[in-house]
Structure 1
Amino acid sequence: MDPKVSYFKTFISAAKTKSFSRASKKLSVTQGTVSNHISALEKYFDAQLFLRTPEGVDLTPEGEILYEKAEKILNNINDARQYMRILHEHPEGTVRIAASTTPGENLIPNIIQSYRAEHKDVDFDVQITDSEKCFKLLESGQVDIIAVGNLYDKSYESVIIGKDRLVLIVPPNHRLVKKGVAKLSDLLKEEYIDREEGSGTREAFKLALNNKGYSTMDLDIIMSLGSNSSIITAVSEGYGVGVISEIPAKNAEEGGHVKIIPIEDLDLTRYLYLVKGRKPKNPSAVKSFWDFVSE
């Protein structure tokens, strides 16, 4: 069995005090424990480390060699612990994040900005993709943290970073604008522009439909697009209607590109999550960022 750090501490104490009994008192352990630690080291190195004398113990030549090396080993361990403590207090390096469109474009930049106001030595590498691909990147270890609108895998540690509402957007001259409100039955009659497979928005909308006894098969889907902005563009140009996050939808409505129409009989509220990988590449920086977000 490989020796433990405590064995080396016992050995050094015995060498300095020249006594197993004095070493046991100094370390607050039994003399039997001291003897067992020394015996384990002698067995591991296949060498006698101490000579017993009437006054106590003296190091053998082999013991002298180990004493010099053991002190360096313990000093290196203490140095490493000190550096790690400093790194935890003042993290540095890069945190790799994959984010789906809504949290990636609307929440993560502000969170990072707030965090970096206190931790300027931590950088971020953020890539935008859909929620399903985010989980694949996390599982493969290519990113440390993901920000998503759907928990495809609930076995990971997660924290809620925001609440979102999906809304129906239509062209500014659409018939539903005068009506001011829509029902699910109205939506089923429209040409619908869907988000791509793997999108958290799509999954949340699909779940809302399922809760009402419908599925995406009941929609007249004419195309699937990969972002909120592309759906906004398609809707503004009159290709159909779509359901996207309320945040970009409001910005598009203020710009006169689309109109938001509430669907009164469909619950489209969802949460946005930060999910942490199990083996981050930069543990201290990731822990610091995670703790900041979780406060």
Structure 2
Amino acid sequence: MELAQLKYFQVMANIRHFTRAARMLDVTQPALSRSMSKLEKDLDVQLFKRNDGEIELTSEGERLLKRVDRILREVESAKEEASSGQPGAAAEFKLSFIHSLGSYALPHILQDFRTSYPDIRVHLNQQDSATLAQKVAAGETDLCLCSTLPTTEYSAWVYLWSEELFVTVPLGHPFTGRSSIDLHELENEPLIALKSSYSMRILVDQFFDLAGIHPEIAFEGDDIATISGLVSAGLGVSLLPKLAGVEHPGLCYIPVSFPICKRAVGVAWNTQRQLPAAAVRFQQFLIRRFDNAAKIPHDPQTN
């Protein structure tokens, strides 16, 4: 049994898909498959149940994962202490994220991560999507939480979760009380939206293209809180996620019947740079957290 095998196993156990795991590890899928088969042979147990690329852990695999997590944490801790010369020195990494995640998703994620890894320091950077893509490409951030894959040659992106976007109107608006709405019905409504450099705005424009309409833009802002406030004041309508824990009593959120309006959120990184051990831990923490359709804290009414 080799340390590399354990690392491969840990990633496989978290991602549970040969192709995506091989991409994350920067190895070929056949090489990864051979390594896992050899590990099973060495241990004389079946660790995975395989089905067209998708895999599940056996009970033996689940038990091994717990031990491997502990072993690799100890190995990384030993490396950090040896390289720093200061036992117990705190590890750190740089995490960038899109604006819209800062008010609801990211605080919950970081709070839970700190519970598991209290000694890891996270340097945060909040930017629009275009700027974040440049930072990932330039290696100026270790990890990036974003809703689209940065389109650069050496960038990778792994899906974590998706969230629904709602037609958002002020209370008292004629649409208030509707159970659903077709997006083309917003054709004559003033639209309040994020600026064009934000990935959510790009998605919103795509959804309106699908509906065959282009509403007049009444205002372009930098954050969802401002947009929500302006909608609440009756200055227009918008297409927004319903943010858990962010109260806007003057708003009504209406599901969209056509087109389906959802955005995917994932974690991106530069595959040409070696991630700090602390960043790898956070990356694995994210994948475990959202595996098997786990959801971020949410309002039940958004389901």
Instruction: Name the TM tier (shorter chain).
Output: 0.5 to 0.7
Structure 1 residue identity aligned to 2:79: M
Aligned-residue CA RMSD (Å): 2.7
Q: CA deviation at 1:238?
A: 1.0
Deviation string, structure 1 residues 34-61 (Cα, Å, up to 9, x no partner): xxxxxxxxxxxxxxxxxxxxxxxxxxxx
Name 2:79's counterpart in structure 1.
Answer: 84
Q: CA deviation at 1:102?
A: 2.9
Deviation string, structure 1 residues 139-189 (Cα, Å, up to 9, x no partner): 222211111112232752222222111111111111111444322222111
Q: Secondary structure at the match of 1:152?
A: coil
- The yes-or-no answer on 1:277 pairing with 2:270 is yes
Deviation string, structure 1 residues 177-232 (Cα, Å, up to 9, x no partner): 144432222211101111111212112222223334x36xx211111111110100
Distance 1:230-1:205 versus aligned 2 partners, 3 A rule: same
Q: CA deviation at 1:116?
A: 2.0
Structure 1 residue identity aligned to 2:229: T
Structure 1 residue aligned with 2:128, among 124, 127, 130?
130
Q: CA deviation at 1:283?
A: 1.4
Q: Secondary structure at the match of 1:137?
A: helix
Q: CA deviation at 1:235?
A: 0.5
Alignment of 1:140-219 (within 5 A): 140-153=138-151, 155=153, 156-212=155-211, 214=212, 218-219=214-215
Deviation string, structure 1 residues 85-112 (Cα, Å, up to 9, x no partner): 7679x88322211111233332222222
Q: CA deviation at 1:273?
A: 0.8
Alignment of 1:254-269 (within 5 A): 255-269=248-262
Instruction: Give distance in 1, aligned partners of 2:255 and 2:163.
Output: 14
Instruction: Give distance in 2, aligned partners of 1:87 and 1:235.
Output: 55
Structure 2 residue runs of 5 or longer lacking an equivalent are: 1-75, 289-303
Query: Which structure dedicates a bigger proportion of its chain to helix?
Result: 1
Name 1:3's counterpart in structure 2.
Answer: none
Q: Secondary structure at the match of 1:105?
A: coil
Contact residue 235 and residue 242 of structure 1 kept, 8 A: yes
Q: Which runs of 4+ in 1 moved over 4 A?
A: 85-88, 279-282
Instruction: Give distance in 2, aligned partners of 1:124 and 1:133.
Output: 19
Q: CA deviation at 1:244?
A: 1.2
Instruction: Give distance in 2, aligned partners of 1:209 and 1:100.
Output: 22
Q: TM-score, normalised by structure 2?
A: 0.61
Q: CA deviation at 1:114?
A: 1.9
Instruction: Give distance in 2, aligned partners of 1:105 and 1:139.
Output: 26
Structure 2 residue identity aligned to 1:293: L
- The yes-or-no answer on 1:109 pairing with 2:107 is yes
Q: TM-score, normalised by structure 1?
A: 0.63
Q: Secondary structure at the match of 2:202?
A: helix
Instruction: Give distance in 2, aligned partners of 1:95 and 1:178.
Output: 46
Instruction: Give distance in 2, aligned partners of 1:211 and 1:152.
Output: 23
Contact residue 165 and residue 255 of structure 2 kept, 8 A: no
Alignment of 1:5-84 (within 5 A): 83-84=78-79
Contact residue 94 and residue 282 of structure 1 kept, 8 A: no
Higher-Rg structure is 1
Q: Secondary structure at the match of 1:275?
A: strand
Instruction: Give distance in 1, aligned partners of 2:187 and 2:109.
Output: 38
Structure 2 residue identity aligned to 1:209: F
Structure 1 residue identity aligned to 2:234: G
Distance 1:84-1:266 versus aligned 2 partners, 3 A rule: same
Deviation string, structure 1 residues 265-286 (Cα, Å, up to 9, x no partner): 2210121111123355861111
Structure 1 residue identity aligned to 2:230: A
Instruction: Give distance in 1, aligned partners of 2:279 and 2:77.
Output: 19
Deviation string, structure 1 residues 242-262 (Cα, Å, up to 9, x no partner): 1112225x844xx42211122
Instruction: Give distance in 2, aligned partners of 1:104 and 1:87.
Output: 35
- The yes-or-no answer on 1:291 pairing with 2:284 is yes
Structure 1 residue runs of 5 or longer lacking an equivalent are: 1-80
Query: What is the aligned-residue identity percentage?
Result: 17
Name 2:16's counterpart in structure 1.
Answer: none
